[in-house]
Chains A and B, each alone.
Chain A
C-alpha cells in the first residue's frame, strides 16, 4: 500500500536524509521524498500498521533532521 504525506523540510540534502531514515524504518517497503513538491510517498510492507509505522518514521526523521515536519 502506498500513501502520500505532506512534509515540510528546508534543504534538499535533508530531504535525502529523511528518505534514507524512512527507508530504514521497520514496516516501510519503499519511500521517496520529493523536496520540490514537499511530499513523501511511503510504501508500507505487507501487514504493517501504517499509523504506528508513521509515528516511528517521524521519530527517525526528527533524529536526522530536527527541523522537519510530516503531516500525518
Chain B
C-alpha cells in the first residue's frame, strides 16, 4: 500500500469506530422525549466522523463546481450525504449514520479499487520484467556498466551469467544456455554457441558471452516488445468506447432523474391528491438514493482492467496482443487461415531422395546447390546442406529466377534448369513424375532431363493438436494456404485435419485467396491469418486479424501483425483465442451484471424499496465484484 492509501485506511478505521460508538451512545442517551442528551449536540458530534471520512470529497466537489465540472462522483457523494443529513435534521430522527456510512463505503470502494488496480498493474509489469538496466563493455580488462541506450552498433559487450542480454547481437566468444521464458514462454533453456544470433531480453544462465551488437537498443527486440506491451491498451476496444460514452450520458441522466424525482411526484401529490407537505422529505430521500447509485465506477474501471489483465496474461504465455481492439476481434474468430511453411510445418526442408538418370547423385546435388546459391528460399538452403561442401559462387553465372517455378543458371558452363513441373512444361522438357510426396525439383542439364530431387518439409509436433484445440475452442473452419504442389499440400492437410487446402499459390495469390475467404465468411465471425512473418506481411495486414509466429527478431512481422507469437508453437494460436474469449466473456459479464444491479436499484429506489444503505452496497459491492472478476482474465489455464 502506498502512503496515500494507508492514510485513507486509517481515516476509514477511525470514522467507522466513531460512527459505531456514536450510534450506540445515541441509542442509550439520545432517544425518546426525555433523552439525556438533546439536539443539536448529536448533530455536532456526528459531524466529526463525517468530516474525517469525507473532507477531501467535499473539497473536491467544491472545486469541481468552481471549475464547472459538476457531475463528478465527488459532487454526487457530497450532495447525497449532505442531503441525507438535512433530511435527518428535518425529520428529527437523529439518524446521521446513513450519511457517514455512505461516505465510508464509498471510500472503502475507492481504496479497494486503487489497491487492486495497483496490484494487478505491478503483477503485469513484473511478468514483462525484461528491461535490461545496463550493458557491460570491456575496458582494459575491466568491465564497465553503461546505459544500453549509449551502445553503438558493432560494439562488443559482455554478458555474464545471470544477466539479461541487453541488445540483440551475434555471439563472438563463449557458449552458454539462455532462458528465454520471458520472451517466448518456453521454459526449456536454449543452448547457444559462438556465431549464433542472440536476442535481447533473454537471460544468460551458464557461461560468459562476448556479443557483438547488431542493433541499437531502441531497435532491439526487448525495446520493441516493451513498447508494444506498454502501448497495448491505448488502442481501445469497442466495449471500452461504449463504456466511456455510456458513462458520459449515464451520470447526468441519473442526476436529472433524481432532480425530477425530488420535485415532480410530491408536487403532483400535493396539488392534485391533497397530500400534506410532509411527503417532501420522503421523495428527497429517494432522489438522494438515486445519486448514490449513479456513479458508473464499476463499469469504468472493470472493463479496461479486464482487457489489461487479458493482454497481460497473454504476454506471460509469449503472446503479444497489440491492443484491446485486437483482443476483441480475436475472440470473434471463426475461421483460421494458415500459411503452411514455417507455421504448421517446421519450414526446414530436407532432401529426402535423389532420383537421377544422367549423372551421379552427388553431381546432380552439386549442380542444384550451385544453381540455387543466390536464393534465400528454404529449399536452396536444404540443397546446400545436402551437398555439404563449400559453394564456389564464381562457378555460377547468368542466374535467372522464375517466381513460383524455379531457377535457371549456368554452372561450369552447363545450363542448369531446376524447378517444378510448371517450369518443365514451359520449357517443353519431358519429365518423370515422382511417386514420393514432397516438393519435387526437376532438373535439366543443357536441356536434357537429368532426374529430380525430392525435398520434404516436416510437420511440427504440435500442429495436429493445435488444429484440434482450435476446433475445441470454437473455431469453425481451418484453411491452409501454400505455394506447394497439390499432392504435398493435401497429404499434410489430411494428416493434420485441416478443413480446406489451397495449393500452388504464388505469394500474391495468398492475398486474393484471403480476400475471397473474407468475402465468403462475412456473416460468419472474423478471420485470422497465421503466418511466420516472412513474405506474408500483406496477408497479415489484409486479414481481420494477423498473427505472426516465431517472429522474434523479424521487425517486418512485428510491424504488420496484430498478434505476435514469440515462439513458433502453433498450439499458442488456440491459447490466444481461448484467452481472448475468456477476457471478452468477463467483460460482458461485468457489463451485464453492473447494469442489471444498477438499474434494479434505481427502480427500487424510485419506488421507495431501497434505502441509501442498499444503494451504497450496490455501488461499492458491484465495483468490488467486477474488479475481482476482471482480475480473473490474468490467469491462463494451461
Contacts and interface: CB of A to CB of B under 8 A. Distances in A.
Given A10-B114, A13-B296, A13-B297, A36 B67 contact: no
Interface residues of B, number: 26
| Overall SS of chain B's interface | helix
Interface in B283-319: 296-297, 300-301, 304-305, 308
Interface in A28-72: 32, 34-39, 41, 63-64, 66-67
Interface in B26-66: 60, 63-64
Nearest to B244: A16
B60 A16 contact: no
A16 B69 contact: no
Contacts of A35: 117, 304
B236 interface: yes
A41 B231 CA distance: 9
B437 interface: no
Nearest to A62: B67
B501 to A, nearest CB: 42
B29 to A, nearest CB: 39
A48 B304 CA distance: 31
A12 to B, nearest CB: 4
B233 A34 contact: yes
A12 B234 contact: no
Nearest to B5: A10
A37 B236 contact: no
Interface string B110-153: 10011001000100000000000000000000000000000000
Interface in B391-407: none
Contacts of A36: 117, 121, 233, 304-305, 308
B230 interface: yes
Contacts of B121: 36-38
Contacts of A38: 121
A11 interface: yes
B247 A16 contact: yes
B60 A13 contact: no
Contacts of A17: 69, 72
Nearest to A12: B301
Contact of A13 (B63, B67, B114, B300): B300
Contacts of B244: 16
Contacts of A32: 234, 236
B117 to A, nearest CB: 7
Given A37-B121, A66-B63, A11 B110 contact: yes
B297 A12 contact: yes
Interface in A1-41: 10-13, 16-17, 32, 34-39, 41
A37 B67 contact: no
A12 B626 CA distance: 14
A72 B308 CA distance: 25
Nearest to A13: B300
B532 interface: no
Nearest to B305: A36
A28 B72 CA distance: 24
Interface in B618-632: none
A13 to B, nearest CB: 5
B73 interface: yes
Contact of B233 (A11, A37, A64, A66): A37
A35 B562 CA distance: 22
B73 A34 contact: no
Interface string B89-127: 000000000000000000000100110010001000000
A57 to B, nearest CB: 15
Interface in B407-421: none
A17 B74 CA distance: 14
Nearest to B307: A36
Contacts of B233: 34, 36-37
A12 B300 contact: yes
B73 A37 contact: no
Given A12-B304, A13-B296, A64 B247 contact: no
Contacts of A41: 231, 234
Given A13-B73, A13-B247, A16-B244, A37 B297 contact: no
Contacts of B230: 37, 39
Nearest to B247: A13
A46 to B, nearest CB: 21
A16 B308 contact: no
Nearest to B230: A37
Nearest to B59: A66
Nearest to B295: A13
Contacts of A37: 121, 230, 233
B24 to A, nearest CB: 34
Contacts of A13: 72-73, 247, 296-297, 300-301
A39 B121 CA distance: 12
Contacts of A12: 117, 297, 300-301, 304-305
A49 B448 CA distance: 72
Contacts of B69: 17, 63-64
Contacts of A10: 110, 114
Interface string B239-267: 00000100100000000000000000000
Nearest to B62: A66
Nearest to A60: B67
A37 B60 CA distance: 24
A37 B230 CA distance: 7
B286 to A, nearest CB: 25
A10 B300 CA distance: 13
Contacts of B73: 11, 13
A39 B233 CA distance: 10
Contacts of B113: 11
B594 to A, nearest CB: 13
19 contacts: A10-B114, A11-B113, A11-B114, A12-B300, A12-B301, A13-B72, A13-B247, A13-B300, A34-B234, A35-B117, A36-B117, A36-B305, A36-B308, A37-B230, A37-B233, A38-B121, A39-B230, A39-B234, A66-B63
Lowest 4 A-B CB distances belong to which pairs? A12-B301, A36-B308, A32-B234, A63-B67
Given A11-B301, A64-B69, A66-B63, 17 more contacts: A10-B110, A11-B73, A11-B114, A11-B300, A12-B301, A13-B247, A16-B247, A16-B300, A17-B69, A32-B234, A35-B117, A37-B230, A37-B233, A38-B121, A39-B230, A66-B60, A66-B64
